[in-house]
Chain A
Amino acid sequence: MQQSKWLTFFKRIPIFLIFGFIVLPVFMVIWISFFSTSLITFPPKGYSFKWFVELLHHQEFLNSFFLSLRVSFFAMIISLVLGLLGSIALIRYNFKGKKIFELLFLSPLIVPTIITGIGIYIFLFNTERLIGIDMVPNLWALITAHVIICIPWTVRLISAGLQSINPSLEEAAIDLGSTRIQAFIKIVLPNLRPSIIAAGILSFIHSFNNLEISLMLVRPGELTLPIEILNYVFWKVDPLIAAVSTVQIILIGILMWIANKFISIRKVF
């Protein structure tokens, strides 16, 4: 008996190692952010919280953090509204070419994000020259690009939620004299709330940590957080940048925890 216990323990070592591999980079970042010296050495000379305080003195990180929050927030709201409207059409109506629209709404997933970002830039840059209105770089172009990469997420999650709500509920309400819109607001929307919240949070996260879509579309000196981090990393990696990343890790951890309360995180991927 004792022996077989040891045996199962040894059999599990590869499993532990793989899980270790999965969390290794995130663990390293959090660990380093507490190192006391700017030059990273192993083992560390000591531990300290000072980089998190120092962070508050770095205006560029604060600015990019708040820019990213703003961009992702607007992208989330817009892509939620669009995703909701699109999902209602796809799930509650039957029409010709439905498959094509479904494919269209999910298509931004297929193209590499870096190509989508550059494409939007080149396209707007040339349209700008044609019609003479400044379009890039511009905050709304940036937000719209983020909306594009969020739409597949909101469409997928809200469609799945809508599919699980029985249409006869709405029909009953309509039979009892309410309009379609009333029935939707009073019956469907409350039931759909968990899906909408989860879709919102996940599209927010997806937008917040996406670097490639913004590269061409940010204004000089007004960078999103991932780009600000990237530029710093080209120069050096130190506990300060690890602390910035740790803040991002904590933010996303909290968001994921909230999302998990509304929808099984497993269903998202």
Chain B
Amino acid sequence: MSQNRNKSRFEIGMLIAPTTILITIMFLLPLIYFLRVSFNQNILGGFMESAWTIENYIGFFTDPYFLKILWNTIYISIAATLLTLVMAFPIAYILARMTSNWKGVLIALVVFPLLVGNIVRDIGWISFFSENGLVNRIITKIGLTDGPVQFLETPPAVIIAIANVVLPYMILTIQSVIERINPALEEAAIDLGASRWKVIRTVLIPIAMPGILAGTLFVFILSMNAYTTPLVIGGTKVQMMAPALYAQINEVSNWPMGSAMAIILITITLLSSILYLRVIERTTSGSNHATTTEVKG
């Protein structure tokens, strides 16, 4: 018996050791080291000195340049999340209630842009928004403006491009929640005389709320962490945290500040998630919809 248990322990060890060792060495240790570097002292010219100082964090929160970047990151992420939410719900609803063969095609259509990579999509957005791009061509042709309007390197363009990146995640999250709500519920409400809009508002949305909130959080985190899209579409005028911290490391060669920014980004994302989950818990506690919150694996 005990020999058997030892054997089984040995097997478990052999099975999980490779992945555990790799993730520890190549992921956890680097992250811990990152945290350590953020307390080091930067010396001009790309050097740093081992220290225990919080001057990088103080420097970040007292410099208007960095605060502007942080503010950009937060409000652009919130705006992109809200825009995504508005667009995702109708699509998610239709996909969830669809039974025809088109369903598979439409889901593939939603997922596909997710897989082609951000830089490829950004090329599409540049050709769409640039000075001689499609939008400017159309609005000058119909006489809306005299000259080309600057869309690139403005917050709205960044918001739209980020919303485009994260929209599929929101659609799929909400769809999976609505799919598990029995359609009979809606039909019953309609039979009793409610309009479809009223059914959606008073029956569907409340039940689907945990899923909607989970999707919102997920999409907000993805937006906060966006790198390629703010870099390419936002350029130097609309800077966000992820590209800015990379620039600190790679261009400014200020590793301690870059590390501090990484830690700040991770911390703010984590804290807002915890806060948000707390709020969700409070608003949905008492209702019995917990079964709809689990997200399909």
Assembled-state Cα–Cα distance A206/B126 (Å): 23
Assembled-state Cα–Cα distance A107/B19 (Å): 12
Enumerate chain A residues within 8 angstroms of B15, measured Cβ to Cβ.
Answer: 85-86, 88-89, 93
For the complex, count residues of A whose C-beta is within 8 A of B. 82
Summarize A's interface: helix, strand, loop or mixed: helix
Are the CB atoms of A19 and B106 closer together than 8 Å?
yes
Are the CB atoms of A252 and B11 closer together than 8 Å?
no
Report if A62 contacts B (CB, 8 A): no
Residues of chain A whose beta carbon lies under 8 Å from any beta carbon of chain B: 14-15, 18-19, 21-29, 32, 39-42, 81-83, 85-86, 88-90, 93, 95, 101, 104-105, 107-108, 111-116, 118-120, 122-124, 126, 144-145, 147-148, 151, 155-156, 160, 180, 205, 208-212, 215-216, 226, 229-230, 233, 237, 241-242, 245, 248-249, 252-253, 256, 260, 265-269
Report if B155 contacts A (CB, 8 A): no
Summarize B's interface: helix, strand, loop or mixed: helix
Nearest residue (CB) in A for B103 is A266
B121-162 Cβ-contact flags toward A at 8 Å (1 or 0)? 111111110101110011000000000000000000000010
Residues of chain B whose beta carbon lies under 8 Å from any beta carbon of chain A: 8-9, 11-12, 14-16, 18-20, 22-24, 26-31, 33-34, 37, 87, 90-91, 94, 106-128, 130, 132-134, 137-138, 161, 164, 167-169, 172, 225, 227-228, 231-232, 242, 245-246, 249-250, 255, 258-259, 262, 265-266, 296-297
Q: Given that A115-B34, A148-B26, A265-B111 are contacting pairs, would A40 and B91 also be in contact in the complex, using a CB cutoff of 8 Å?
A: no
Enumerate chain A residues within 8 angstroms of B111, measured Cβ to Cβ.
Answer: 256, 265-266, 268-269
Task: Give the interface centre of A116, A210, A216, A237 by most chain B CB atoms within 10 Å.
Answer: A237
Are the CB atoms of A122 and B11 closer together than 8 Å?
no
Are the CB atoms of A104 and B134 closer together than 8 Å?
no
Assembled-state Cα–Cα distance A242/B126 (Å): 11
Are the CB atoms of A209 and B116 closer together than 8 Å?
yes
CB of B140, distance to nearest CB on chain A (Å): 10
Can you list 26 residue pairs at the A/B interface with Cβ under 8 Å?
Answer: A18-B91, A41-B137, A42-B132, A42-B134, A83-B19, A85-B14, A89-B12, A89-B16, A93-B11, A112-B225, A112-B242, A114-B227, A115-B262, A116-B31, A119-B34, A122-B33, A148-B22, A160-B297, A211-B117, A211-B228, A216-B249, A226-B117, A242-B127, A256-B112, A256-B115, A266-B111
